[in-house]
Amino acid sequence: MKPGRTTIAVLVFELLTFACGSDAIRSQIGSPNDLPTASATLHWATVSLPRGSYCWTTRDKEACVDSSQVSVPRRNGRLDGYRTAGGFRVQIVFHPASELKAFDVRLSESPVGTPSRVPDVAPRSFDLPASPPASSGFYLYEITGSWSEGKVTFFLPIQLIVGVA
């Protein structure tokens, strides 16, 4: 049985309604471009931090996105570690920096393999260990900023090498 013109018209109407409705929902919640970004100053270099999970409220609409497991982005080659010998203070800068309520850093992956909270030593700063005594290898820090609109997590991948920065 061939679809009639009425069936095709209804199908086209439903597809257009769905597409327009999706855009309207996205514009109400806001796009990832509306979220804060972050960078890290590492000794003399500044690097942009890739965004991970977030929950954000815009115009009374909440959007939550859960990033894939930390090991998955690394296996897919999307997180290259910044190569350094460490032994210096890392300064995190959020853009925009307005009304940051809380700041938290977690070491989620290391050669030792023990996730842990990293103590901040100054506002939005923490110390990166040197190798040695720290083991050389891949370290992944999760940096979370909290604002009145929500929380956003960023990744700081580090490839710690032996030496002095």
Residue-wise pLDDT tens digits, 77-123: 666 789 999 999 999 999 986 689 999 999 998 998 888 999 888 88
pLDDT given for residue 7 in this prediction: 40
In angstroms, the CA 121 to CA 98 distance is 21
Whole-model pTM: value is 0.74
Residues 49 and 95 in one domain: yes
Tens digit of each residue's pLDDT (9 = 90 or more) over 140-153: 999 999 999 999 99
The pLDDT > 90 percentage for the chain reads 44
What is the number of structural domains in the chain? Answer: 2
Share in percent of the chain as helix, strand, coil (round to 5): 20, 45, 35
Residues 10 and 47 in one domain: no
Flag whether 165 is in a domain. Answer: no
In angstroms, the CA 77 to CA 153 distance is 19
The residue segments making up the domain with residue 22 are 1-30
Tell me the pLDDT band of 16, cut-offs 50, 70 and 90. very low
